[in-house]
Amino acid sequence: MTNYGVDKTTNLVSPFALEIEEIKRNGYTVLKDVLNRGDCARLSENLDDVKLKIDHKLAQKGICFDKDANNVRCPLAYDESFIQLALNDTVVSFCREVLGKNIVLLMQNGVINAPDTPQFQSNWHRDLNYQHFTSSIPLALNFLFCLDDFTRSNGATRVLPGTHLIEEFPSEKFIDKYAIDIECKAGDVIILDAMLFHASGKNSTHNQKRRGINHVVGKPFFAQQLDIPTMIQNHLHSELDLDPGAFDYLGYRWRPSPSYENWVEARLK
C-alpha cells in the first residue's frame, strides 16, 4: 500500500499483531477456534453445575440477589476446569503481549443469557466501571470465551468501536449508527479493551441459552473483584501446583501483605 507524508507505521511482527492493532484502534478483536466443541460442551455443563451449587448455598442462607441471577461469579473456585480455562496459553500470551509480563486475573464470571430474561449486562458499560479517562496504552483487557454460538438472535455481545479512546459515554445517535453485534462461533474468544463500552444483546430465541465465560485481566495495580486465592482455598480445599507465572496471574503474588515483616520477607526470597 502506498502513502506519502508518513514517518511512522505499525509493523506487524507478532503472531497476534493484527489482533493487537485491532484492540488498540477499534477496542475489540476475536481469536478464532481457541476451544473445540467438546471443550465448550464440557464447560457449559460444568458452568450449570456450579450455578446450582452457588444457588443452593445462597438459598440456605436466605439470600436472593435477582440482579445477579444470570451470572456465575468466580466459577474457578468451584471447579478446576475453569482454572485451566483462565490459564489458557493462547489468551494469557495475548494478554502479556498487550499488557506486559506482570498481569493479574481481576475476575472470572460465567454469563448465561437466557431467552426473554432481563440481563443486567444488557446495559452499556465498561468492565472498568465508573471510569471516565483515557490512556495511551491498554490497562486491562476482558476476554469472553464463547461456549455457544453468538448470534444476533441469542444475544451476541454488542460493542461501540473506538469508545475506549474517548472519556465520556457517546450519544444515542452515535450508538444507533455505530453499535456492532459480534457474531462468532462456540470456541472463539472475544477480546475487548476493558475501557470499551459494550453490552449483552437480548436473547429473543425461545429455548436457546447463550453461555460465555468472561475474564478481566489487568496490570497488578488493580484489585481483584473477589479474593481468588482465598476462594480457591475455601471451596476447592486443595493446593494447586502452579508455575510462577500462574501463581502471579491468579493473584497470589499481588495480595496485600498482612504486615511489614511479611512484605520484607517476600522480597528477600
List the domain range (segments joined by +) for residue 117: 17-255
How much is the pTM? Answer: 0.90
- Domain with residue 80: its CATH number is 2.60.120.620
Kindly give the confidence (pLDDT) of every residue in the chain, 269 residues in length, as a single tens digit, with 9 standing for 90 and above.
Answer: 677 656 666 666 788 999 999 999 999 999 999 999 999 999 999 999 999 998 888 888 888 777 777 889 999 999 999 999 999 999 999 999 999 999 999 999 999 998 877 676 789 999 998 889 999 999 999 999 999 999 999 999 999 999 999 999 999 999 999 999 999 999 999 999 999 999 999 899 988 889 999 999 999 999 999 999 999 988 876 677 888 899 999 998 888 888 888 878 878 87
Please report whether residue 260 resides in a domain. no
Quick check: helix, strand or coil at residue 54? helix
Please report whether residue 98 resides in a domain. yes
Question: Are 110 and 63 contacting, i.e. CB atoms less than 8 angstroms apart?
Answer: no
Please report whether residue 238 resides in a domain. yes
Ramachandran angles phi, psi of 215, nearest 5° = -130, 145
Number of domains the chain contains: 1
Sign, CA torsion 42/47/50/51: negative
Chain-centre distance of CA 87, in angstroms?
12
Say what the alpha-carbon torsion angle 5, 8, 13, 15 is, to the nearest 10 degrees.
Answer: -90
The Cα–Cα gap between 99 and 219 comes to: 7
The Cα–Cα gap between 209 and 148 comes to: 8
Please report whether residue 108 resides in a domain. yes
